[in-house]
Amino acid sequence: MHFLESTSRQLPDAVLVDMDGTLTDTEKLWFQAEIDVMADFGREWKSGDETELIGMNLHDSSHYLVRKLDLDVEPAEFGRILTDRVAQLAAEHGAPWRPGARELLELLSALGIPSVLVTASMRNLAQFTLDQAPAGSLEYCVSGEDVSAGKPDPEPYLRAASLVGADPSRCIAFEDSIPGLTSAISSGAVTYGVPLNIDISHVRGATIIDSLEVVNEEFLHTALARR
């Protein structure tokens, strides 16, 4: 009995967390960037069009948009243009934290739990979040440039766990999108979904929480046992 109680209250070896829509409310920046860039190419982009792209890695989303909208540009170049516009908007307006996000990072730092940013975005965009993170948190990052296969492939989360020498099954992950949840679950991490713009309640293998605000020390002590 004492053994079961002790194993059910072990802190995770690491916390692996998505950026856009999970830690920061940058989805609105991506939507505005898509409107601006599409206008430059003579295309209309309206509310709702972005839903299919949420959580998709830049390589796949760029190919999807170039093909769907018949854009006269190489997908890689389109991805660069779009990312540069998001970075410009982030520099102008900042990348606001989602509720409970900064407090979570502060808690992880205080408990000595390594935290890794796992994002499909490019490093130049991730840097805004890394720079404003509390001291001792997000000291590691896996960006879209660091993997050969992005979300929903498990590679980003497997790489994130390896950066801190952790077994993925001893890590917990937080995500807001279907591709992101699929990536984290496939890696073996204990995965929590934090909804924002899309319904993720049907994703098997993920535990859905209302907000990062519920993640306190007690939550972390029992998170692995909720698999």
For residue 55, what pLDDT is reported?
63
Mean pLDDT in residue range 35-60:
81
Q: What is the DSSP string of 157-195?
A: HHHHHHHTT--GGGEEEEESSHHHHHHHHHHT-EEEE--
pLDDT digits (tens, 9 = 90+) for 102-118: 999 999 999 999 999 99
Considering the domain 27-93 in this protein, what is its CATH number?
A: 1.10.150
- Kindly report the pTM of this predicted structure: 0.82
Of 176, 199, 35, 59, give the one whose Cα is nearest residue 191: 176
Sheet with 115-118, strands from edge to edge, namely: 140-142, 115-118, 14-17, 171-175, 190-193, 206-208
Rounded to 5°, the CA angle 23-26-28 comes to 140
**Domain range 14-25+96-225, CATH class:** alpha beta
* pLDDT score at 227: 67
Query: Would you say residue 9 has pLDDT above 90?
Result: no
Convert the pLDDT of each residue in 133-146 to its tens digit: 999 999 999 998 99
Domain positions in the chain are 14-25+96-225, 27-93
Lowest mean pLDDT among 18-27, 42-51, 79-88, 90-99: 42-51
Paired with 15 in beta bridges are: 115, 172
Q: Give burial (CB, 10 Å; 0-12/13-18/19+) of 46.
A: exposed
Euclidean distance between the first and the last CA atom of the chain, given in angstroms as a whole number: 19
Contact assessment for residue 24 and residue 129, using Cβ atoms and an 8 Å cutoff: yes
Nearest to 69 by CA among 37, 47, 27, 31: 37
Same fold, 14-25+96-225 and 27-93: no
pLDDT score at 94: 78
Average pLDDT value for residue range 123-127: 88
pLDDT value of position 85? 92
pLDDT value at 5 more than 60:
no
- 166-209 pLDDT tens trace: 999 999 999 999 999 999 999 999 999 999 878 999 999 999 99
Q: Give me the sign of the Cα torsion angle 161, 169, 115, 93.
A: positive
Q: What pLDDT shows up at residue 27?
A: 75
pLDDT band of residue 2 (cuts 50, 70, 90) is very low
Q: Name the β-bridge partners of 174.
A: 17, 192
Mean pLDDT of 205-219: 97
Q: Cα 219 to chain center, whole Å? A: 20
pLDDT value for 1: 38
DSSP state of 14: E
- Whether 12 shows a pLDDT value over 60: the answer reads yes
| pLDDT value of residue 44 | 87
The per-residue pLDDT of the chain, averaged, comes to 90
pLDDT band at residue 213 under the 50/70/90 scheme:
very high
**pLDDT-wise least confident of 5-14, 85-94, 106-115, 211-220:** 5-14
- Residues in Cβ contact with 14 at an 8 Å cutoff, skipping those fewer than 6 apart: 113, 114, 115, 116, 160, 161, 164, 166, 170, 171
